[in-house]
Amino acid sequence: MTLAVDSLRADLAALVGPSHVLVDPAACAAFSVDGKIPDCVVAPSTAEQVAAVLRYSSEHHLALIPRGKGTKLSMGNPPRRYDVALSLGELKRVIHYEPADLTISVEAGMTFGKFQNLVGQSGLWLPLDPRGGAEASIGGIIAANAAGPLRQGFGGPRDMVLGLKIATTDGKIAKTGGRVVKNVAGYDLGKLLTGSFGTLGVIVEASLKLFPKPPERATFAMRAGTLGIARDLRRSILRSPLDALRLVLLDSPATALLDVSAQAQEHTGPELWIELGGSHRVIERCAFELRRLASAVGAPLVRVEGAEKAWEHVSNLAHWLQQKYRDVTVVKAALPVVASEEFLSRAQQEADAERIALASFAQVGVGIVHVCTLQETLNASVAGLVARLRQAATDLGGTLVIEHCPVDLKGHVDVWGAGGDDLDAMRKMKLSWDPNEVLSPGRFVGGI
Amino acid sequence: MGMACASPDRSRGCAVSAQRTNPRGLPGAKERVHHDAMRSRTPKFAALTTIRGRDILRVRAFGVELASVWHSGLVCHTGFFVHSRFSRFAMKSKGLFRELARIIGEDGVLWRQEDLMLYEYDALSSVRQPDVVVFPRKTEHVVQIAKLALRHDLPLVARGAGTGLSGGSVATEGGILLVFSRMKRILEIDLENQRARVQPGVVNLDLSLAVADAGYYFAPDPSSQKACTIGGNVAENSGGPHTLAYGVTTNHVLALEVVLPDGEVIHTGASHWDRPGYDLTGVFVGSEGTLGIITEATVRLSRKPEAVKTLLAIYDQVVGATRTVAAITARGITPAALEMMDGFCLRAVEEATHAGYPMDCAAVLLIEVEGLKEAVEEHADEIEAVCRENQAREVRRAKSAEERDLLWKGRKTAFGALGRISPNYYVQDGVIPRTRLPEMLEFIGSIEKKFDLHIGNIFHAGDGNLHPLIMYDERNREQTARVGKAAREIIMRCVEMGGSITGEHGVGLEKSDLMPLIFSAVDLELMGRIKNLFNPQGRLNPGKLLPTGKMCGELRGGLAGGGPV
């Protein structure tokens, strides 16, 4: 940062209009990231303005963090520098929408809630349940490749992005991919940008593939009682012809927190929740099949009524748990499918040893396990626990990242863990897109 | 092709190769057909020039003086060679051959003229020969060869089975061609995790067959799946009829081992989801061998559905078929596959395969639904109703697995069947939004009239991926020129409709100069930057994917078409 705030404001105001620039410290504080408060918040209203702001920042060696609604910004290492918050909330237009083609192009700042409402009118949806839920922005969901439990049935944002418009740090707007559902022209830079956490370029527009909404959906809970039975059930479900939309193993504290009270009662031990979709007849067949699979391992099966709220919580863990446990830490282990239950068991042992209360939510069909520490104030032993959980994930052939934690913890543990032999290629990639380290410096893997 | 303008005699060779019905790219009868045809159909003098040209090149490679006299003559006739790095190679060839043989053994290197000939084309076209062909058996071989190529500044091109339709695996500037037919081991099958780790030379269908008894398969199913390799699928991001529901190759690749042009080995992605960092796997898939050489891939295996139903809807008017496509998705149904063939293609297919396709209709839709048997029944009934609402004359359902296989055989061998009725055809791979299909068909009809050509239509209709096949006879120069113009108008129309120049065949050599139709200079510059990161000297698969600006003519890659899609 080499500029005085006043000249920064004047320069940015010239690019985006004075009413789109904030420098008031109190207002800027709302845009802090990991405790760092930017000098300035800028909210461009067109893609060209975003590009202009990027070029300006690059020329003046400013550090900028792009954001949609900020629902996932707790993910990442603390920024090395942070001068300007780039809010994309003003970019919220629909650029192109043809329901019969099952494709849509929207600007990045549109919220997921608005988006789903719009396409829902034609019986369509984007089958994602990302962190941040309805509040999240489309651009943010893509930048974080934020997939929730619906990944079981549909994959993640990576599989739904058809094309992107990207503002680059040299002040240009580039396109990758297109609007049609099948396209292999050119390098697939959409994949590169998806999950790049705003460190390469700024997504200003996205073309997405839409899906018809299942006519009905139903959630069933199977009370496995033990992890061993839960594993057997997971195996038999994945081998069966059932196509689960979501499949999540909840430990006892997790079921208690979800408090689907009518059913929770005195029950303890892990429960496997499965959501299925289709016509009434298809759901009946699924229920029949599930009952058969569950009774084979002696697990009672119940249909969960009003599961939607519970699913919202499960896909937005940090936000939900924070209301009760201010200093909650949420880690995500990504594992081979076979290792999910083993990881849960090791996590529990480690937490017991440290006397830290946990709740776990495991997408066992895709090997994604969220472990949450239920704490109101950060305990010094959490850093050690996270390190040991990461070791457990590595031992089992997976990786572990911290999705959300108090800033203090980030001083002790790297959010992403170690990179692989492709880290050098990633660094070169960053350098070629953002040579002046404008975008979210230091927040990503390996200090990128 | 670039050569089409510079070298008429060679372009003739290309067009001949386009007729091959099976593009396996393996030595054998097909190649003999190819060369015999070239001899018989090329004016004697031209053929002589070409063949002599090759001889001379070989002779030069071994330093015989006579060569240089003829070489200047050759340059006149085949301007292409002017840019080649061949001479550089020739100077060093003996030493290089020895070095390569030291790395992988003498039986892993081909260098004789008659052997190299078999590797001068893929299913698009014949371009030029590599200077040497090598068959690595392990990653370390590829590393050593890459380092050697770096030391000698030679082009390096990877090739699977040579079934590609965009010229992606031809060595446009000569150099070393790495053929992966000896790296064809399935390294690991992990059913519980639904993963397989394979070497790049594993044939697509072989992987599915290896896990079929356990109830799994590898979802991407290009029509060449009996021959094409997974390495090639990854490089081209291949599609197939069933991508409508299950996505293309990139949706099924989790991790890669890649050898970079300097011999460095990197591992991208992981066998599990969400490995932290940039999705380099996603960048390498579909990069057409221009960023790195894939030496191993970890792919997803899919569980076979409980039930499959295959419907054949028969129409007396093409427009009914095209309207049905969007009407099906409007009902909230995503079939596993939704293919269209017009009457012209059908008659050729039926004569070749006797699959039971009607000979007297205007178009058929081949529709497949998969899933739980209850869902499949419901969807099949609904689809049938939609077809009838859109004036289908008849809707048949395959009654047995054999009947289903036969219908698919007809579809997957359709290109070959067309080779029986036309000396040449040019196939395109444009994509449009599926709702524009009726309009597009009408447009293609008008192009047919305008340029007085026959155009067959075989579409992955559900995806809006068009494969119009323009029939011609390359001996008719004037007609061939019309084909180029017609093709350009069709692809321009796709672009105007908001579509793409390629849905699954790749850009390769064929369409690199069409890239500016859909990408701006800024977009292309960004892609160029990515290429420079990994392939700064451009030695890896030169002349592919990005526009070179070197070529002349309307459609680079010229008029050639070939194997199945």
**What confidence tens digit (pLDDT) does each residue in B374-404 have?**
999 999 999 999 999 999 999 999 999 999 9
pLDDT for B88 beyond 70: no
Rounded Cα gap, residues B232 and B23, in angstroms: 14
- Report yes or no: B519 and A172 within 8 Å, Cβ to Cβ: no
Q: What is the pLDDT of residue A265?
A: 55
- Please give the DSSP secondary-structure letter assigned to residue B507: -
Rounded Cα gap, residues B347 and B420, in angstroms: 11
Identify the residue with better confidence: B4 or A93: A93
| Architecture of domain B305-421 in this structure | 2-Layer Sandwich (3.30)
Q: What is the pLDDT of residues B236-293, one digit of tens each?
A: 999 999 999 999 999 999 999 999 999 999 999 999 999 999 999 999 999 999 999 9
Say yes or no for a CB contact (<8 Å) between A417 and B326.
no
Confidence band of B93 (pLDDT split at 50, 70, 90): low
- Helical segments of B271-400, H only: 280-284, 318-330, 343-353, 373-389
Query: If you average pLDDT over residues A435-441, what whole number do you get?
Result: 98
- Report yes or no: B57 and B85 within 8 Å, Cβ to Cβ: no
Q: What is the pLDDT of residue B97?
A: 87
Half-sphere exposure of B294 (CA within 13 A, CB side): 38
Residue of A nearest to B277 (CA): A445
pLDDT for A317 beyond 80: yes
- Report yes or no: A432 and A57 within 8 Å, Cβ to Cβ: no
Q: What is the pLDDT of residues A361-398, one digit of tens each?
A: 999 999 999 999 998 888 889 999 999 999 999 999 99
Rounded Cα gap, residues B360 and A242, in angstroms: 41
pLDDT for B20 beyond 70: no
Rounded Cα gap, residues B250 and A445, in angstroms: 23
pLDDT for B179 beyond 90: yes
Half-sphere exposure of B252 (CA within 13 A, CB side): 31
Rounded Cα gap, residues B259 and B148, in angstroms: 13
**Amino acid at the residue A441:** P
Q: What is the pLDDT of residues B103-136, one digit of tens each?
A: 999 999 998 888 999 999 888 876 789 999 999 9
| Identity of the residue in A100, A215, A238 whose CB atom sits nearest the CB atom of B330 | A100
Average pLDDT of chain A to the nearest whole number: 95
Q: What is the pLDDT of residues B451-504, one digit of tens each?
A: 999 999 999 999 999 999 999 998 999 999 999 999 999 999 999 999 999 999
Q: With a CB-CB cutoff of 8 Å, which residues 193-232 of chain B face chain A?
A: 193-195, 215
| Identity of the residue in A178, A192, A417 whose CB atom sits nearest the CB atom of B518 | A178
Q: What is the pLDDT of residue B22?
A: 34
CA distances from A77 to A326, A414, B400 (A): 19, 7, 58
Rounded Cα gap, residues A24 and A41, in angstroms: 9
Percent of chain B residues topping a pLDDT of 90:
70
pLDDT for A333 beyond 80: yes
Say yes or no for a CB contact (<8 Å) between A334 and B275.
yes
Percent of chain B residues topping a pLDDT of 70:
80
Rounded Cα gap, residues B290 and B541, in angstroms: 5
Rounded Cα gap, residues B427 and B466, in angstroms: 9
Helix (H) or strand (E) holding A304: strand A301-304
Percent of chain A residues topping a pLDDT of 70:
98
Strand order in the sheet with A246-250: A301-304, A216-223, A271-278, A246-250, A358-363, A368-373, A329-334, A399-404
pLDDT for B27 beyond 60: no
Q: pTM for the whole thing?
A: 0.90
Q: Which residues of A touch B546 (CB under 8 A)?
A: 186
Residue spans per domain, chain B: 4-89, 106-304, 305-421
Which residue's entry shows tokens 């760092």? A36
Q: What is the pLDDT of residue B128?
A: 81
Q: What is the pLDDT of residue A267?
A: 60
Rounded Cα gap, residues B254 and B248, in angstroms: 13
Give the class (CATH, top level) of B106-304.
Answer: alpha beta
Q: How far is A414 from chain B (nearest CA, A)?
A: 12
Q: Is the CB of B438 inside 8 Å of chain A's CB atoms?
A: no
**Amino acid at the residue A333:** A
Q: What is the pLDDT of residues A198-222, one digit of tens each?
A: 999 999 999 999 999 999 999 999 9
Q: What is the pLDDT of residues B506-525, one digit of tens each?
A: 999 989 989 999 999 999 99
Helix axes B44-61, B86-104, angle to 10 degrees: 60
Confidence band of B54 (pLDDT split at 50, 70, 90): very low
Q: What is the pLDDT of residues A16-30, one digit of tens each?
A: 999 999 999 999 999
Identify the residue with better confidence: B452 or B53: B452
Q: What is the pLDDT of residue B31?
A: 35
pLDDT for B545 beyond 70: yes
Q: Which residues of A touch B502 (CB under 8 A)?
A: 183-185
Identify the residue with better confidence: B96 or B540: B540
Q: How far is B529 from chain A (nearest CA, A)?
A: 7
- Helical segments of A403-445, H only: 407-410, 423-433
- Report yes or no: B232 and B505 within 8 Å, Cβ to Cβ: no
Cα dihedral value B143, B146, B150, B154, nearest 10? 170
Say yes or no for a CB contact (<8 Å) between B432 and A211.
no
SS3 B217: strand
Q: How far is A136 from chain B (nearest CA, A)?
A: 19
Q: What is the pLDDT of residue B70?
A: 28
- Report yes or no: A127 and A154 within 8 Å, Cβ to Cβ: yes
Query: If you average pLDDT over residues B347-361, what whole number do you get?
Result: 90
Handedness of CA A136, A140, A141, A144 (dihedral sign): negative
Average pLDDT of chain B to the nearest whole number: 83
Which residues contact residue B478 at a Cβ distance below 8 angstroms, ignoring those fewer than 6 apart?
none
DSSP string, A351-404: HHHHT--EEEEEETTTTEEEEEE--SS--TTHHHHHHHHHHHHHHTT-EEEEEE
Rounded Cα gap, residues B370 and B385, in angstroms: 18
B274 burial class (0-12, 13-18, 19+ CB within 10 angstroms)? buried
Q: What is the pLDDT of residues A141-197, one digit of tens each?
A: 999 999 999 999 999 999 999 999 999 999 999 999 999 999 999 999 999 999 999
Q: Is the CB of B391 inside 8 Å of chain A's CB atoms?
A: no
Rounded Cα gap, residues B514 and A170, in angstroms: 26
**Which has the minimum average pLDDT: A105-109, A165-169, A344-348, B52-56?**
B52-56
